[in-house]
Structure 1
Amino acid sequence: MSLSLKLRQLLISVLLMLLLLPSSFLAIDQAFYTQLLTNAEQKLEVNMYAILSEINIIDGKIEVSGSALAPDFYRPDSGLSAYITDENQLVWQSDSSLSQHFSPPNFALPPGEHLFAGVEQNNEEYWVLSIALLFDSEDTTVPLTVHVVQSDKRLSAPHISFRSTLARWFIGIAIILSLLMLLAYYWTTKPLSRLDNEIRRVENGSQEQLNGRYPAELAVIKEDLNLLLANQNRQKQRYRHHLSDLAHALKTPVAVLQTSELSQQPELKEQLDRITGMIEHQLKRASSSGQDIWKKQILIKPLLTKLVSALEKIYRDKDLIINIECNDNNVFKGDETDLMEILGNLLDNASKACKSLVSISISQHPLTLTVEDDGPGIPADKHHQLFQRGSRLDTYSEGHGVGLAIVAELVESYSGQLALDNSPYGGARFKIVFPD
C-alpha cells in the first residue's frame, strides 16, 4: 500500500468525524432547544390556568386576585408577565409587565382556542401563549383574551449553558476518537508497511523472497508474490540455459568451418564472423535482465574501476587517460551483466577512437551515464547507422559491429534514452539517461 493511499484512508476517516460530530452536536442542541420550548409552553399553560381561576369582574372592572399567581408576575424584570384584553383593549396586566415595553398581540382566536407563538418587539423576542374565552359575569358575557408572555432570555440562558457543556463533551469525544483513530490507523497499516518494506528489499536485492508473518488477508498476497518471483526466476534460468545450449551447439560446427580452407575466402570468412558475432550477441541478451520485475541496486564505481583498469592495460600503447566522475553511492537498478555490457562497449569504443583521452561521468536522479573522447568524432549523418546491428564505421577499426547495437537494445529494455552528439573534447559523446 502506497503512502498516498494510507493518507487517503486517514483523511476519509477524519472527514467523516468532522462531518458526524458537528451534525450530532447540532442535532442534540436543536433537540434540547425544542424541549426547552415545550417546557416553556407547558409552564405558561399552568400559569394561564392559574390566572383564569383568579379572574373576577368587580363593578364592571376585571380583577385578578394574587393568591394563585406565581411570584414572578409581581417581580419586575422577571421575564414573565400576563395581559388580559377585551376586544383588543388592555383591561389588565401583571405588575411584572410594567417595566416591559410589550404590547399584547392581536390574535384573532375563536373562544376556547389557544396559540403559542414567538413575537418580536423592540428588537427583543418573546414567547406568548394566548387563549380566547367568553367570561360570564352576572347577566353578561365578556369576550376576553389572556396572554401569558415569557422573554426569550429565560430560554437562552439554560440553552447557552447546555451548549457550552455539550461543546466541552464533544471536544473531549473528538480528542478521544482522534487518538483511537490514529491508534487504529497505526495498528491496521503496520502489516502493510512491513510488507511494503519487504517488497522494497526484494526490489533492491537485499532478499530473494518475502519472509514476514502477516494477517490472513496479506498472507495470500505474500504467497502469490513469492510464487511470481520463483516462477520468473525459473523461466529466466530456463531461457538462459536453452540459449546457452543452442549457442554451444552452434559453436562446434562453426569452429569446424573456420578450420576449413574454404573459410579463408573473404565472403565465407565475413559470413562466419557474422554468425560468431550473432551467437555472442544472443548469449549476452540471454543474460540480460532488463525486463525483470525486481531489479537489484548495483554500485557503479567498483565495476567501473575494474573496467577502466582493464582498458588501460589493453590500450597501454596509447598512453590512455580515462577520467572518472562517479560518486561512491551511485547505483544502477538492474543486472550487473547488463551494466558491464553497456559500460564495457561504450568505453571500449571510446578507447579505440580516442587520441589519448576518454571521460566518463555519472550522476544520479535520474541516473545519467556520459562517455566522451577526443577522437575524430562521428559525422551526424552516420549516427543512426552506428546503432544498427552489423554496422561498423571507419572510426572503429575492430569488432563485429554489434557492440553499440547491444547497448541500444539494453538501454531500451530499461526504458532509457541513448543520445549521441559531439564532445567538447572533439570526439563523440554518448549520453544515457535511465528513469528513476
Structure 2
Amino acid sequence: MSSIRLRLLCWVIPPVLLMNLLAGALAYMLAPPPLREAVLRTLVLLEMVFGLACVALVWFSVSNGLRPLNRLRAELNAREGDDLAPIAADQVPYELEPVVAALNELLAKVGEGAQARQAFLADVAHQLRTPLAGLKTQLEWLGVRHAGTETARPVGLMLSATERMIRQTNQLLALARAAPRHFEKTRLEPLALDALVADAVQSFVDQAARKDIDIGFDLAPAVIRGDRFLLRDLIDNLIDNAIRYTPPQGAVTVTVRPGLLTVEDNGPGIPPARREQVFHRYVRLDDKTEGSGLGLAIVRDIATVHGASLSISDPPGGQGALFSVKFR
C-alpha cells in the first residue's frame, strides 16, 4: 500500500531540487573565482533549507487535505454494525462527493438486502407458528392418550423437539421485530413494567419447577414507554436464559424498580471478559445447555430500540449473574 504523501514527495521534490541545482551551477559558474567557494557553501545551505521546506509544505498540505477523509473514516468506525444511514454529503469537500455518493449507494443496497432478509425471517417465523402450535397440541393429546405405554417416550421426544422449534421460531420473529432499522417509535406507549413481569414470571413457573429452581419476583410499580410485545420478548428471554444456566435447586429472582429491570441467578456466572460478547448472535458459553444463541441478542436489540442500557454484573452474593436493563 503506497502513501499519498510519499508519492507526492517523489513526484515534486526531485524536479524542484534538479532545477535548483541547475540554477546553483549557473550561479557558481558566473561568480568570480575568489567568491566561488563562498557561493558554493551558500548554495548548498539554501538547497538543504529549500528541500526541507518543500518536504514540510507537501506533508502539511496533504495531511490537511486528508482530514475530511479521516473524519469520514472516524464517523464510519463509530457506527454500529446495523447503522446503514446515508452519509451527509453536504459535510464533505467537493472532491469527495463522488466517493460519498458511491458509499451511500452501497449502504442503500446493503440496507435493502438486510430488510429483505428480515422480512423473510418474519414471514417464515409467522407462517410456522400456527402449524407448530397445532402439532404441539396433537402431541400433547397423544402423550395423554398413550401414557404408560411404550409409545409414550417417542411421543415425549417429539413433543420436546416441537417445543424447541416453537421457541426458536418465536425468537426469529422477535429478532425481526426488534431490528432497529424496522422499529417504529409510534409503537411506544405507557406500560406497567411490573404487570408485564408478573405475567411473564407465571409462564416460567413450570419450567423452573422441572429443574427444582426457586423463581420469584420483587416488583414495585413502574411505568415506562415501550412496545408491549417486544418488552415481553425481552423479559421472557432474560428469564429463560437465567433458568437454563442455573443448576438444579438454584434460584432466579426478577426485580422491578422505577426505570429498572433486573434478573438475577446463582448459576455459573459470566466472566467479565465475555460479558459484551454474549449479546452477539449465536454466541453460547456452554455447549451442554440447549439454546440457539439468539436470546441475549434479542434482548440487546429490544433494549436498543427502547433507548435502554443493558449490563451484566456480579450479584450481591457474588455467585451467578445479574442482568440489568435501565430505561430512560
TM bucket (normalised to shorter chain) is: 0.3 to 0.5
The normalised TM-score by structure 2 is 0.46
Higher strand content, 1 or 2: 1
Instruction: Indicate the structure (1 or 2) with the bigger Cα radius of gyration.
Output: 1
